[in-house]
Amino acid sequence: MRTKLASVPYTDSAGSLGGLVLIAALAYVIGSFSSGFVVGKLYRNVDLRRVGSGSTGSTNALRALGPGAAALVAILDVSKGALAVFMAQLFVPAASDWRPVAEAAAGTLAVVGHCWPATLRGRGGRGIATGFGALLFIASPSAFSALLFFGAAIALTRIVSVASLSSVVGAFVGYVALGALGVLPFHWAPLAFIVVCGLIVYVRHLDNIRRLLAGREPRLGDPLRS
């Protein structure tokens, strides 16, 4: 009886929906912390939005600030996604039917906050690192399949945008395949997170896709373009 009563607020009550809204709002705030902007300003007083691709992500930080700063930006961006989902897990009991939904909502809004932070007038990153951090807590096996696709693509092309877009495919294929094999329990919410955030990543990479089609997308090691 105690377990049944504890699960009620997270299944059918209006409070559960309010809780999801609160989790999503907090996740957006977490995602909106622009690691690249802060590191750029502290490291060399550089606004990453005004150099290179204009992104505040680790790839632009690598070209503008160097590998040390880029690694720090990547770690912080991954941590944002992980923290947002971990927060949802703290708020919603593991036995609740709302747990996967809360995780997916938190991960998605963290990515939205990273890409379109209110503090920087909507000019953020591409969403890959933050989405990966969220996926680590939402569906860890598919996060590793995304990493595998990323690594293979970067080894073959040395183009970060190709690797980033490939990782989205890797996350989707990994989740569907591993779910079908019974390696991880299939649920619509994590799949929706992968699809929605994957679409966001592709939208944020439209300029990169145009440059790829035109043969002008820079490779790792190429000089910074203004």
Max intra-chain CA distance, the chain: 65
- Is residue 13 pLDDT above 50, yes or no? no
Q: How far is CA 179 from each of CA 29, 42, 141, 167, rounded to the nearest angstrom?
A: 31, 43, 10, 18
- Is residue 49 pLDDT above 70, yes or no? yes
pLDDT score, position 224: 54
d(CA 168, CA 164): 7
d(CA 85, CA 135): 9
pLDDT score, position 5: 36
130 in any annotated domain: yes
83 in any annotated domain: yes
Q: What is the pTM of this model?
A: 0.88
d(CA 161, CA 182): 31
Average confidence (pLDDT) over 58-68: 89
Return the DSSP state at 33: S
2 in any annotated domain: no
* Average per-residue pLDDT for the chain: 88
* Percent of the chain residues past pLDDT 70, beyond the cut: 91
97 in any annotated domain: yes
224 in any annotated domain: no
Which of 3-7, 77-81, 137-141, 216-220 is predicted with the least confidence, judged by mean pLDDT? 3-7
46 in any annotated domain: yes
Number of separate helices (H) and strands (E) present in the chain: 11, 0
Residue 122 pLDDT class (50, 70, 90 cuts): confident
Q: How far is CA 134 from each of CA 121, 198, 217, rounded to the nearest angstrom?
A: 23, 13, 28
Domains of the chain: total: 1
32 in any annotated domain: yes
Residue 9 pLDDT class (50, 70, 90 cuts): very low
d(CA 34, CA 135): 19
Burial of 7 (0-12, 13-18, 19+ CB in 10 A): middle
100 in any annotated domain: yes
- Is residue 128 pLDDT above 90, yes or no? yes
Sign of CA dihedral 54, 55, 56, 60: negative
Beta-carbon-side half-sphere exposure of residue 60 (alpha carbons within 13 Å): 25
Range of the domain at 190: 14-214
Average confidence (pLDDT) over 94-123: 92
Per residue in 152-176, pLDDT tens?
999 999 999 999 999 999 999 999 9
Q: Answer for the pair 69, 77: CB distance below 8 angstroms, yes or no.
A: no
Q: How far is CA 138 from each of CA 10, 39, 134, 161, rounded to the nearest angstrom?
A: 18, 27, 6, 24
pLDDT score, position 183: 87
- Is residue 108 pLDDT above 90, yes or no? yes
d(CA 111, CA 126): 9
Which residues, in sequence order, are CB contacts of 213 under 8 Å at separation 6+?
none
